[in-house]
Amino acid sequence: MGMKDLAQRNASNMTDERIKGLLAELHEALPGADLDAETRKLVKLLDADIHALSEPSAEDVSPIVEQARELETRFAAEHPALQRFLRELIDTLTKMGV
């Protein structure tokens, strides 16, 4: 394995850890939020899709980014703290460039 491959793997691992951390923070904040059933379902779906990114067959993050943007829009007015987690998650996913 070359130095470039090692650097890419380390960057990918750090990105994965950042995403997992953001998801954990989001889940910690959810119980205090008054969310409807559909929004909670969308959060769970997003979580599952993001975890699937760690699978070797994962290719494209753009549908997941769109899901996160939809949730971010829902949270904008009533849940600014949750919106912040989603904004960071979107930024991190976009930087992955998968």
DSSP 25-64: HHHHHGGGS---HHHHHHHHHHHHHHHHTTSTT----HHH
The tokens for 89 are 């998650």
What's the pLDDT at 93?
A: 86
- Tens of pLDDT, residue by residue over 41-96, are 989 999 898 888 777 666 678 888 899 999 999 888 888 888 988 899 999 888 87
What's the pLDDT at 3?
A: 44
What's the pLDDT at 6?
A: 43
Q: Contact at 8 Å (CB) between 68 and 79? A: no
Q: What is the b/e burial string over 51-68, where b = at least 16 CB atoms within 10 angstroms of the residue's CB? A: eebeeeeeeebeebbebb
- Tens of pLDDT, residue by residue over 20-46, are 888 888 888 888 888 889 888 989 999
* Phi-psi sector, 97: left (phi>0), alpha (psi -120 to 50), beta: left
What's the pLDDT at 53?
A: 77
pTM, two decimal places: 0.73
What's the pLDDT at 61?
A: 80
